[in-house]
Every structure is written in C-alpha cells, then in structure tokens.
Chains A and B, each alone.
Chain A
Amino acid sequence: QVQLVQSGAEVRKPGASVKVSCKASGYTFTAYFMHWVRQAPGQGLEWMGRISPNTGGTTYAQKFQGRVTMTRDTSITTAYMELTRLGPDDTAFYYCARVDSDLSFDSWGQGTLVTVSS
C-alpha cells in the first residue's frame, strides 16, 4: 500500500532554515508528482509547490519563490522540502502529498510540525 512517512518535528529560530523529508513506498516513486501543503495551527490548507520525482522539475507557489526548494533522491524514494529565512508565520504542519492521475491528493504524509520561535 502507498505510504508517505515524513521526518520528525523541528524547532528553528527566526532566520534559520528547515528541511523536511518524505519517504515514499508502495508504488513507483518516479511515476507520480509529489506536492507540499502546509497548515498553520487552527488554519486552512496552503499549497506550496510540487516536484516531478522523474525529472526533478519543480513548480512553486509565488508566495514561496526564492525561499523554498523541493528536491528528491530517487535512489531512496524520498522527497525533500527546504524552507529558508523562517519567520514565526512559518510555524505550521508541513505535509507531502502524492498526486494521482486525476490530480487529486490521494495519499498524504503524516505531517511534520515546524515551530519557529526565538
């Protein structure tokens, strides 16, 4: 069965960076785009961007352009999302989500809480 397992919670100071991983299993990793979505505590869902595990090509939401980098390592079927110049507003759960052929998020990681605090 499809599984996306994310790295553990992180605490960072303002101005720092964080890199979250998402280990995929149960399917052909390179066949499905991986997206990243975040959710501030008590708030809604916000799309950050996507990566093609096949080509490494990325598309980022304009809001995060210049601060986010999505990468992947096909040898270990893992996707990564790095966010730099963190501020308190970046405190959120970060989710990886696989997109199916109909462009729905059919599988999600369990989420990684990133806390930004001085």
Chain B
Amino acid sequence: DIQMTQSPSSLSVSVGDRVTITCRASQTISTYLHWYQQRPGTAPKLLIYTASNLKRGVPSRFSGSGSGTDFTLTITSLQPEDFATYYCHQSYSTPFTFGQGTRLEIK
C-alpha cells in the first residue's frame, strides 16, 4: 500500500497568513494526488485535483504543486472560512490512501 505522510498535523495561524501543507508518498504516484477540505460536521470537499488543478468554484488563493512523491498545498491570505482540516489523497493505485490530515486552528 502507498503510505501518505502529511505535515504538519496541525497549524495555528491567523487570518491573512500564508499556509503551506506538505504531503509525501511512499512511492511515486505521478500527479495522482488530490487535496480536500473538510469543515466540522460536513463531508470532504475537493479543492485541487491531479496535484495542481483548481476545481471550478474554488478560490484562487488555493494552489497545489508537485509530482512524483512530494506535493504541497498552499493557501495565500487565509480567510475565516479556511479554518478546517485538509487531506491529501492518492489515486495512483488501490487501495486509495489519504494523509492523516492537517487541522488549521485560529491563533
């Protein structure tokens, strides 16, 4: 199974901050890496697909990069609605696997 290691597990940040979350795969996954946002009590929501493509309707302050084994999600100028948990997900091979999640908390 491909292990996804996401860091940090939590981050204390302020509105307006720039945030970078990293995700590392235990083997190459090309660009089959996706990012989701999950707010408490709701289902995850797709933000970025295939490493760097912004889903329609997602604000442009979200961006993704990487290929192979190392990936990043960047949020520029954090907004109040961005305080949530973020997960990376690989779909290169089954079983599909997720990172452990990064929780953004208000400083």
A residues bordering B, Cβ < 8 Å? 35, 44-47, 50, 59, 61-62, 95, 99-100, 102-106, 108-111
Contacts and interface: CB of A to CB of B under 8 A. Distances in A.
A61 B1 CA distance: 10
B45 to A, nearest CB: 7
A44 B87 contact: yes
Nearest to B43: A108
Contacts, number: 53
Contact of A45 (B44, B55, B94): B44
Determine the interface band of chain B, counting residues with CB < 8 A from chain A.
20 to 34
The main secondary structure of chain B at its interface with chain A is loop
A25 B97 CA distance: 26
Given A62-B95, A103-B34, A106-B49, 8 more contacts: A45-B44, A45-B98, A46-B98, A95-B44, A103-B32, A104-B89, A108-B43, A108-B45
A111 B50 CA distance: 24
Interface string B30-47: 001010100000111110
A95 B46 contact: no
Contact of A104 (B43, B46, B94, B97): B46
Contacts of A102: 49-50, 53
A10 to B, nearest CB: 17
Contacts of A106: 46, 49, 55
Among B46, B87, B97, B101, residue most surrounded by chain A Cβ atoms (within 10 Å):
B46
A5 to B, nearest CB: 12
B91 A104 contact: yes
Contacts of B87: 44-45
A47 B95 contact: yes
Contacts of A47: 94-98
